[in-house]
Structure 1
Amino acid sequence: MSADATNSTPPGPVAAAPRRRTRPRLDLRRLGRAALLGPTSRDRLPDAIGHVVEAHRAHFPDADLEPLRRAYVLAESSHRGQKRKSGEPYITHPLAVTLILAELGAETTTLTASLLHDTVEDTEVTLDQVGEEFGAEVRYLVDGVTKLEKVDYGAAAEPETFRKMLVATGNDVRVMSIKLADRLHNMRTLGVMRPEKQARIARVTRDVLIPLAERLGVQALKTELEDLVFAVLHPEEYARTRELIAENAARPHDPLAEVAELVRQVLREAGIAAEVLVRPRHVLSVHRVARKRGRLRGCDFGRLLVLVNEDADCYAVLGELHTCMTPVVSEFKDFIAVPKFNLYQSLHTAVAHPRAGDEASGDSDVQVVEVLIRTHRMHKVAEAGVVALGNPYAAGADEQPGGDGERADPTRPGWLSRLLAWQREAPDPDTFWSTLREDLAQDHEITVFRPDGASLGLPEGASCIDAAYAQYGEDAHAAIGARVNGRLAALGTVLKDGDTVELLMGQDPAAAPSRAWLEHARTPTARIAIQRWLAAHPAAADDTPRSKAAARTPQNALSAHGEVRPAPHKAASTAPAHGRDHGRPAPADAVVVDRPHTAVRLAGCCTPVPPDRITAFVVRNGAVTVHRVECPTAARMQAAGRTEAGVRWGDAAEFRVTLLAESFGRPRLLADLTEAIAREGVEIVSATVAPPAQQRVHHTYTLQLPDAARLPALMRAMRDVPGVYDVRRAQAPAPQHGS
Structure 2
Amino acid sequence: MPTPNSLEGLIEKAERYLNAEQIQQIQAAFEFGALAHAGQTRKAGGAYIWHPVAVAEILAEIQLDHESLIAAILHDVIEDTPYTKQDIIDRFGERVAEMIDGVTKLGKLAFDTPQEAQAENFRKMMLAMSRDIRVILIKLADRLHNMRTLGVMRPDKQRRIARETLDIYAPIAARLGINSFRIELEDLGFRAMYPLRFSALEKAVKKARGNRKEVVEQITEALQTRLKQEGFKAEVIGREKHLFSLYKKMRKKRLSFEEVLDIFAFRVIVETVDDCYRALGLVHSLYKPLPGKFKDYIAIPKPNGYQSLHTLLFGPYGVHIEVQIRSEVMHKVSEHGIAAHWHYKEANANESNPSPVDVRAQEWVRNLLEIQQSAGNSLDFLENVKIDLFPDVIYVFTPQGEIITLPKNATAVDFAYAVHTNLGHACVGCRIDRQLVPLRSVLESGQTVEIIKSKEIQPNPTWLNFVTTAKARSQIRHFLKNQHSQSATDLGQRLLTKAMRIHNMAYSGLSEELIAKLVQDLNLENWDQLLEEIGLGQRMAGLVSKQIHDNLLGKDDHIISEKGQHQPLAISGTEGLVVNYAQCCHPIPGDEIIGFISTGKGLVIHRHDCKNVKHFQNQPDKWLDVDWDPNSQELFAVEIQVETKNQRGALALIASEIANTKTDIERVRSEDKDETYSVMNFVILVRNRDHLNELLRHLRRIPIIEKAQRVFT
TM-score class, shorter: 0.5 to 0.7
Match of 2:472 among 518, 526, 539: 526
Q: What does residue 657 of structure 2 align with?
A: 570
- C-alpha distance after superposition, 1:719-739 (max 9, x if no partner): xxxxxxxxxxxxxxxxxxxxx
Paired residues of 1:328 and 1:351 also in contact (CA < 8 A): yes
Q: Which has the higher helix share?
A: 2
Match of 2:298 among 317, 330, 336: 336
1:627-642 matches, cutoff 5 A = none
- C-alpha distance after superposition, 1:263-288 (max 9, x if no partner): 12212222111112222221122334
Paired residues of 1:515 and 1:541 also in contact (CA < 8 A): no
Match of 1:514 among 446, 455, 460: 460
For 1:390 and 1:152, the matched residues in 2 are separated by 36
1:118 maps to a residue whose letter is D
- C-alpha distance after superposition, 1:342-397 (max 9, x if no partner): 1111122233332xxxxxxxxxx421222222122111110110111133433454
- C-alpha distance after superposition, 1:619-675 (max 9, x if no partner): xxxxxxxxxxxxxxxxxxxxxxxxxxxxxxxxxxxxxxxxxxxxxxxx99989xx9x
Paired residues of 1:563 and 1:670 also in contact (CA < 8 A): no
1:609-648 matches, cutoff 5 A = none
Residues 411/325 of structure 1: CA separation in 2 closer, same or farther (3 Å cut): closer
Shift of 1:126: 1.6
Q: Is residue 2:283 matched to residue 1:318? A: no
Paired residues of 2:263 and 2:320 also in contact (CA < 8 A): no
Q: What does residue 148 of structure 1 align with?
A: 106
Residues 476/377 of structure 1: CA separation in 2 closer, same or farther (3 Å cut): closer
For 1:542 and 1:103, the matched residues in 2 are separated by 63
Residues 194/419 of structure 1: CA separation in 2 closer, same or farther (3 Å cut): same
For 1:399 and 1:140, the matched residues in 2 are separated by 25
Paired residues of 1:286 and 1:300 also in contact (CA < 8 A): no
For 1:490 and 1:166, the matched residues in 2 are separated by 35
Q: Is residue 2:368 matched to residue 1:368? A: no
Match of 1:427 among 376, 380, 387: 376
**Higher Cα Rg, which structure:** 1
Shift of 1:300: 4.6
Q: What does residue 418 of structure 1 align with?
A: 367
Shift of 1:190: 0.8
Shift of 1:473: 3.4
Q: What does residue 286 of structure 1 align with?
A: 246
Paired residues of 1:348 and 1:371 also in contact (CA < 8 A): yes
1:370-385 matches, cutoff 5 A = 370-385=322-337
Q: Is residue 2:269 matched to residue 1:307? A: yes
3-state SS of paired residue (1:494) = coil
Q: What does residue 138 of structure 1 align with?
A: 96
Residues 310/62 of structure 1: CA separation in 2 closer, same or farther (3 Å cut): farther
Shift of 1:462: 2.2
Identify unmatched segments of 5+ residues in structure 1.
Answer: 1-35, 39-45, 355-364, 401-408, 548-557, 577-666, 675-685, 688-739
1:578-727 matches, cutoff 5 A = none
For 1:473 and 1:377, the matched residues in 2 are separated by 35
- C-alpha distance after superposition, 1:402-443 (max 9, x if no partner): xxxxxxx85634333222211222112332233332332x22
3-state SS of paired residue (2:386) = helix
Q: What does residue 458 of structure 1 align with?
A: 406
Residues 207/150 of structure 1: CA separation in 2 closer, same or farther (3 Å cut): farther
1:528 maps to a residue whose letter is S
Q: Is residue 2:28 matched to residue 1:70? A: yes
1:248-287 matches, cutoff 5 A = 248-251=208-211, 253-287=213-247
For 2:229 and 2:423, the matched residues in 1 are separated by 62
- C-alpha distance after superposition, 1:155-202 (max 9, x if no partner): 322111111111121222211111111111111111111111111111
For 1:98 and 1:483, the matched residues in 2 are separated by 51
Residues 343/254 of structure 1: CA separation in 2 closer, same or farther (3 Å cut): same
Paired residues of 1:160 and 1:429 also in contact (CA < 8 A): yes
Paired residues of 2:635 and 2:687 also in contact (CA < 8 A): no
TM-score normalised to the size of structure 2? 0.65
Identify unmatched segments of 5+ residues in structure 2.
Answer: 485-575, 587-632, 641-652, 664-683, 696-713
For 1:229 and 1:398, the matched residues in 2 are separated by 36
Residues 541/479 of structure 1: CA separation in 2 closer, same or farther (3 Å cut): farther
Higher relative contact order (CA 8 A, sep 6+): 1
Q: What does residue 436 of structure 1 align with?
A: 385
For 2:583 and 2:350, the matched residues in 1 are separated by 54
Greater Cα offset, 499-508 or 221-230: 499-508
Paired residues of 1:392 and 1:410 also in contact (CA < 8 A): no
Residues 261/435 of structure 1: CA separation in 2 closer, same or farther (3 Å cut): same
Q: What does residue 81 of structure 1 align with?
A: 39
Match of 2:8 among 50, 56, 61: 50
Shift of 1:569: 2.7
Aligned residues: percent identity?
Answer: 35
Shift of 1:449: 4.7
Shift of 1:249: 3.3
For 1:465 and 1:325, the matched residues in 2 are separated by 42
For 2:315 and 2:123, the matched residues in 1 are separated by 49
Paired residues of 2:263 and 2:322 also in contact (CA < 8 A): no
Residues 543/486 of structure 1: CA separation in 2 closer, same or farther (3 Å cut): farther
2:2 maps to a residue whose letter is L
2:469 maps to a residue whose letter is T
TM-score normalised to the size of structure 1? 0.63
Paired residues of 1:447 and 1:455 also in contact (CA < 8 A): yes
Shift of 1:252: 8.6
For 1:220 and 1:152, the matched residues in 2 are separated by 36
Q: Is residue 2:53 matched to residue 1:95? A: yes
Residues 367/575 of structure 1: CA separation in 2 closer, same or farther (3 Å cut): closer
* Aligned positions, number: 512
1:309 maps to a residue whose letter is E
For 2:582 and 2:186, the matched residues in 1 are separated by 46
Paired residues of 2:151 and 2:158 also in contact (CA < 8 A): yes
CA RMSD of aligned residues (A): 3.7
